[in-house]
């Protein structure tokens, strides 16, 4: 708690100067209605192709965390070069360097001390989500009075110093109505004054493939006047259960995870299994306990995939460690309905997860965090499951403690929403 207090009350000459600028802007602000950019009614972003896949997109990120947009580029198989990245949290640097190629000299620890002028016209795409607690519904909502709120100006400064072709600024939806909309108008005006064509819309991750309710405002700035509409929602094909590490044994029929493994490209390449094979694979004595071997297709099975990309979310399946299961004492706490003055939901095993929080390691009540039951016992989500629910494939290496990983996952941007945006804007147009 002391850390939060320090963040909020932090004082420096720079922060004081920014607060004065904000105050003057607010005093002379001519209020106007800012409407969200429309959602596309054209071809679905899923069916769009990149126009210049041979190009390399030079990206720079601030408040980089665990590199959500970097992972999006990896998942899309797009050529990209990380020009700079940084985060004030040392353990984020551990995770970042374990998963992405970046030079030590291109990493910064504190954006307030980061001189981005050497990257002028050398970056195509700048991305960042300034700390959102200052504007969050569950935070103090002090806005620019909170030292973290003033960090938006650092993002704007980096955009000004690098002049990227396009930028993306992400934050909580509460930013739009903070101080009766004046805070967002100030931010919007500053982006326009920097010479950018500004678009924005609130998107929910469960509309873009990830079973988690997570609404964020995604603001794009284009250096050239650009006709752009936000990607349209797509039907949600998965539930939270599909992202769990454990699985329920069945007598003969495979559940969804088994079907996904057996029909995956990875399996077909390595020939772990076959379906309706002409010649039977070598039988194994433990075949009943794994998914390797022969399978037959039953036409009545509702789980039979019809889409070639069915293995988009193939995950490694393993048992969940005992430490993630809740003791009887903790179960009573998380499932408590509340007191006379405070009531909370006790639902677990949701199809669509509640928003993941950076403080998940603390185990809040069930109405705040996500809990699942397995074999009659209740447990919290594992760090790997949290990463999956943020759109990170199992190729992402975990090199920090559980506590740090929960925090990093909860602070990240959902990768799948970024993928939808990258496809919708055809990010390769801005590469070299």
pLDDT tens digits, one per residue of 318-348: 788 889 989 889 999 888 887 667 777 889 9
Quick one: pLDDT at residue 19? 57
What torsion do the CA atoms of 285, 287, 293, 298 make, to the nearest 10 degrees? Answer: 130
The reported pLDDT for the residue numbered 264 is: 72
Whole-structure pTM over 0.95, yes or no? no
In angstroms, the Cα distances linking 253 to 59, 114, 258 are: 45, 56, 9
For the chain, percent of residues with pLDDT exceeding 90: 47
Instruction: Report which secondary-structure segment, H or E, holds 5.
Output: helix 2-9
pLDDT of residue 307: 41
Tell me, what's the pLDDT at 15? 56
Mean pLDDT of 356-377: 86
Q: What are phi and psi of 256, to 5 degrees?
A: -55, -40
pLDDT at 144: 40
Q: Which helix (H) or strand (E) holds 202?
A: strand 197-204
Query: Which residue do the tokens 């070639």 mark?
Result: 308
Bigger pLDDT: 145 vs 421:
421
* CB 352, CB 240: distance < 8 Å: yes
Distance CA 19, CA 410 (A): 28
CA 266 to CA 393: how far, in whole Å? 14
- CATH class for the region spanning 2-235+413-430: alpha beta
Would you state the pLDDT for residue 53? 96
- Considering only CA atoms, which of 397, 117, 385 is closest in space to residue 241? 385
Out of 6-20, 112-126, 317-331, give the one with best mean pLDDT: 112-126
In 283-328, at which residue ranges do the beta strands (DSSP E only) sit? 293-295
Q: How confident is the model at residue 142 (pLDDT cuts 50, 70, 90)?
A: very low
- Position 318 scores a pLDDT of 78
The burial class, CB within 10 Å (0-12 / 13-18 / 19+), for 43 is exposed
Q: Give me the pLDDT at residue 217, please.
A: 95
Lowest mean pLDDT segment, chosen from 116-125, 128-137, 237-246, 362-371: 128-137
Contact status, residue 278 vs residue 294, Cβ threshold 8 Å: no
Is the pLDDT confidence value at 60 over 50?
A: yes
* Beta carbons of 370 and 356 less than 8 angstroms apart: yes
- Taking 50 as the threshold, does the pLDDT of residue 357 lie above it? yes
Taking residues 7-21, report their average pLDDT.
Answer: 55
Pick 31 or 88 by higher pLDDT. 88
Most confident of 184-188, 299-303, 412-416: 412-416
Q: Which of 60-69, 88-97, 142-151, 177-186 has the lowest mean pLDDT?
A: 142-151
> What local confidence, expressed as pLDDT, does residue 64 receive?
96
* pLDDT of res. 275: 67
Q: What is the pLDDT of residue 2?
A: 34
Q: Considering the chain, what percentage of its residues have pLDDT values greater than 70?
A: 73
Q: How are strands ordered across the β-sheet holding 215-222?
A: 107-108, 80-86, 57-62, 125-128, 166-172, 215-222, 197-204
More confident residue, 208 or 260: 208
Q: Which residue has the higher pLDDT, 419 or 6?
A: 419
Mean pLDDT of 141-154: 55
Give strand pairing partners of 169.
128, 219
Q: Is 128 helix (H, G, I), strand (E, B) or coil?
A: strand
**Arithmetic mean of pLDDT, 393-415:** 94
What average pLDDT does range 101-123 have in this prediction? 95
pLDDT of residue 368: 87
The model's pLDDT over 198-254, given as tens digits with 9 standing for 90+, comes to 999 999 999 999 999 999 999 999 999 999 999 999 999 888 888 888 654 444 455
Confidence band, pLDDT 50/70/90 cuts, at residue 137: very low
- C-alpha separations of 277 from 267, 274, 280, 293 in Å: 14, 6, 6, 10
The mean per-residue pLDDT over the stretch 44-62 comes to 97
8 Å CB contact between 374 and 320? yes
- The C-alpha angle with vertex 152 and arms to 151 and 157, in degrees rounded to 5, equals 95
> Has residue 277 got a pLDDT over 70?
no
The pLDDT value recorded for residue 306 is: 42
> What residues act catalytically?
132
Report domain extents, the chain: 2-235+413-430, 247-313, 322-409
Mean model confidence pLDDT for the chain: 82
Residue 259: which pLDDT band, with cuts at 50, 70 and 90?
Answer: low
């Amino acid at each position: 708690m002391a850390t939060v207090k320090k963040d909020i009350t932090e004082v420096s000459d720079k922060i004081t100067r920014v607060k004065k600028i904000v105050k003057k802007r607010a005093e002379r602000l001519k209020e106007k209605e800012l409407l969200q950019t429309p959602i596309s009614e054209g071809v679905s972003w899923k069916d769009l192709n990149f126009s210049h896949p041979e190009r390399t997109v030079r990206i720079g990120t601030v408040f980089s965390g665990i590199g959500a947009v970097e992972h999006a580029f990896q998942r899309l198989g797009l050529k990209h070069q990380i020009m700079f990245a940084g985060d004030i949290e040392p353990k984020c640097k551990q995770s970042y360097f374990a998963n992405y190629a970046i030079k030590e000299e291109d990493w910064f620890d504190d954006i307030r001390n980061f001189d981005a002028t050497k990257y002028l016209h050398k970056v195509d795409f700048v991305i960042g989500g300034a700390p959102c607690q200052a504007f969050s519904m569950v935070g103090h909502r002090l806005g620019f009075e909170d030292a973290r709120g003033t960090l938006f100006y650092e993002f704007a400064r980096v955009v000004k110093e690098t002049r990227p072709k396009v930028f993306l600024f992400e934050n909580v939806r509460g930013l739009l109505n903070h101080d009766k909309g004046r805070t967002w108008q100030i931010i919007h005006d500053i982006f326009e004054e920097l010479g950018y064509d500004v678009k924005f819309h609130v998107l929910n991750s469960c509309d873009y493939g990830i079973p988690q309710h997570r609404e964020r405002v995604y603001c794009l700035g284009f250096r050239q006047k650009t006709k752009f509409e936000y990607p349209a929602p797509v039907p949600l094909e998965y539930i939270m259960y599909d992202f769990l590490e454990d699985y329920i044994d069945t007598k003969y029929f495979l559940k969804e995870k088994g079907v996904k493994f057996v029909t995956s490209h990875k399996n077909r390449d390595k020939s772990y299994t076959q379906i309706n094979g002409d010649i039977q694979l070598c039988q194994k004595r433990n075949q009943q306990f794994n998914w390797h071997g022969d399978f037959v297709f039953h036409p009545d099975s509702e789980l039979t995939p019809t889409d070639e990309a069915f293995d988009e979310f193939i995950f490694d399946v393993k048992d969940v460690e005992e430490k993630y299961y809740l003791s009887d004492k903790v179960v009573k706490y998380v499932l408590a309905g509340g007191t006379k003055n405070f009531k909370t939901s006790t639902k677990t095993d949701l199809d669509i997860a509640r928003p993941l929080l950076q403080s998940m390691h603390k185990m809040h009540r069930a109405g705040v965090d996500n809990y699942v039951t397995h074999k009659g016992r209740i447990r919290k989500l594992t760090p790997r499951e949290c990463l999956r629910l943020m759109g990170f494939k199992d190729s992402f290496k975990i090199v920090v403690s559980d506590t740090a990983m929960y925090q990093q996952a909860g602070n990240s941007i959902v990768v799948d929403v970024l993928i939808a945006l990258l496809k919708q804007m055809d990010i390769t147009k801005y590469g070299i």
